[in-house]
Structure 1
């Protein structure tokens, strides 16, 4: 039953992500992205990573999507204002997606199908273990990511300044 639920939620996530890419109305695209974020959070919970599931809902489905909706409402997009999209960009996207798909099929072909073991550690997704791993083994990438985020914030403030 749990495996069926996992595949169903994964199908919902993939379907809503594909709808996001091909949606004509930007509001419907953002709503489908919210469904995608909630589906990914449900997948995290099913994989015993409750902390990541809650952070996914709070940060992405909450804050980021409110920001997207705010920007969409402020832009007031109309169909007459939107210029025609070039077919070259669509063709490039389809070709790159096809290359990624072929690479994923090739990687999947090399993976042997194994049965899942029943010995599952119930402590694997807890916040205590995640914090130990993050601040012991992955402290350098964590700090580099924070410096990168700080550089992005400073860059956006400089770009947004009216007079330099």
Structure 2
């Protein structure tokens, strides 16, 4: 339980730093660390699929997109000063979170929650696939058709009209 409280404390601190940081690039980086702490929470809850999706989709794709847009906007025109001690401490805390996640992934840190230990198969991708393709097959297929329709509509809207003279 102490790992949970430590990671929850870090999540709250980094979320607050995301809000109150004046530099937009630093704000996005703090948001990445906040999502990383949420990934640690998912691992502690034995929800590996959610942890992987959070790590790949949010941290890997959306945050990189945010950073790319911010760097294209070039909001910070003056050169960045030397790193302060606060940034070095935050980097060390982020490194410790990474080590805790790796140790949790290799099962060095055992979950202390009795409910998770009693139901070890909760949150596994195999069970999610069974539920998704048995009970929720129709909504799953409808959402895929909706996404395909949106993709076709986006291509048609982005297509330039070629006028023949």
Determine which of 1, 7, 19 is the counterpart of 1:9: 7
Report how far residue 27 of structure 1 moved: 0.5
2: CA distance, partners of 1:69 / 1:158: 28
Q: Which has the higher contact order (CA 8 A, sep 6+)?
A: 2
Q: How far does residue 151 in structure 1 lie from its aligned partner after superposition? A: 4.9
SS of match in other structure, 1:125: coil
Whole-Å separation in 1 of the counterparts to 2:158 and 2:61: 21
Residues of 1 paired with 2:151 and 2:19: CA distance? 27
1:76 deviates by 1.3
TM-score scaled by length of structure 2: 0.63
Cα offsets for 1:73-107 (capped at 9, x unmatched) = 1111258xxxxxxxxxxxxxxxxxxxxxxxxxxxx
Query: Structure 1 pair 42/4, CA: closer, same or farther in 2 (3 Å)?
Result: same
Match of 2:124 in 1: 126
Do structure 1's residue 143 and structure 2's residue 160 form an aligned pair?
no
Q: Distance in 1 between matches of 2:20 and 2:158?
A: 31
Of 31, 34, 37 in structure 2, the residue corresponding to residue 33 of structure 1 is 31
Q: Structure 1: which 5+ residue stretches go unaligned?
A: 80-114
Q: Secondary structure at the match of 1:61?
A: helix
| Backbone CA RMSD of aligned residues | 2.8
Q: Distance in 1 between matches of 2:72 and 2:124?
A: 40
**Mapping of 1:107-126 within 5 angstroms?**
120-126=118-124
Q: CA 1:9–1:153 in 2, change beyond 3 Å: closer, same or farther?
A: farther
